Amino acid sequence: AQSVTQLDSHVSVSEGTPVLLRCNYSSSYSPSLFWYVQHPNKGLQLLLKYTSAATLVKGINGFEAEFKKSETSFHLTKPSAHMSDAAEYFCVASKTSYDKVIFGPGTSLSVIP
Amino acid sequence: GAVVSQHPSWVICKSGTSVKIECRSLDFQATTMFWYRQFPKQSLMLMATSNEGSKATYEQGVEKDKFLINHASLTLSTLTVTSAHPEDSSFYICSAGGTILGTGELFFGEGSRLTVL
C-alpha cells in the first residue's frame, strides 16, 4: 500500500533561518511526488513536483525539494524563511495515475519574527 | 496554471437543510473531479471521484445519500450535502487536472467552509 508520512506535525522557525519540512513515502513503484501549501481557509497551491526527471526540484517562492530513492524521502527546504511562508504544507504522492493522490498529514509551519 | 473555482466560499445553514457546493474548471475541461473534506488541523480526505456523465465513485465510509455528487458537464461538478447536521460542518475542497492537462498536477479550488447550526 502507498502512504505518505510527514514526520513533524508542526515546525517553528525564526524569520530568515532555513526551513526543513520532512516527507517520507512508501510505494511499490517510483511515485510522482508533490508539495502543496495551504494558507488558512484557502485551497492548495502547488509549490513543486517530482516526476522522475531531476532529483533536485526547484519550486516557487524559493522552495526546493530533493528526491532520495534510497531514503524514500522528499524533504522540502528553503534557505531563508519569510513571514508569508507561515502555512500548512502537504506532501502528496500519486496513486495509480496523476489523478488520484495520497496526502500526507500535513506540517504546520510557523515563522517567528 | 489552470483555474478551479468553488462557490460558495462560506455557507451557514440550519440543521436539516441541504447545501449545494459548485466546482468549476474555468479554462479546461475536466472529465474527472475530486471532492475532499478537511477537518481542522487535519489533512484532506478524499470523499469521492466525480465522473462526467456517470455516477460518482465514493470512498469507503462516505455516505452516498448524504453527499450527492453530480457532474453534468465537462466544467462543472456539484456536491450537495443533504439534510445537513452539525457534524457535517467542515471545509470541502474540489480538484481537477492531472492527466487531463498532461501536467500531472492537480489544481484545487479555494474551498468551501460549511457551518451547520
Amino acid at A95: K
* pLDDT top residue among B2 and B117: B117
Instruction: Name the residue among B44, B110, B111 with its Cβ closest to that of A103.
Output: B44
Using a CB-CB cut-off of 8 Å, the residues of chain B touching A49 are 104-105
Using a CB-CB cut-off of 8 Å, the residues of chain B touching A90 are 43-44
Confidence of residue B53 (pLDDT cuts 50, 70, 90): confident
Residues 78-97 of A with CB under 8 A from B: 90, 94, 97
Among A33, A23, A35, residue whose Cα is nearest residue A55: A33
Confidence of residue B16 (pLDDT cuts 50, 70, 90): very high
Confidence of residue A95 (pLDDT cuts 50, 70, 90): low
> How far is it, in rounded angstroms, from Cα B25 to Cα B34?
12
Amino acid at A98: Y
- Could you tell me what percent of chain B has a pLDDT over 70? 93
Q: Quote the strand ranges of B1-117, DSSP E.
A: 4-7, 10-13, 19-25, 32-38, 44-51, 57-58, 67-73, 76-81, 90-97, 106-108, 112-116
> How far is it, in rounded angstroms, from Cα B52 to Cα B77?
8
> How far is it, in rounded angstroms, from Cα A34 to Cα A89?
10
pLDDT (tens digit per residue) in B65-80: 999 999 989 999 999 9
Measured in degrees and rounded to the nearest 5, phi and psi for residue A73 equal -125, 160
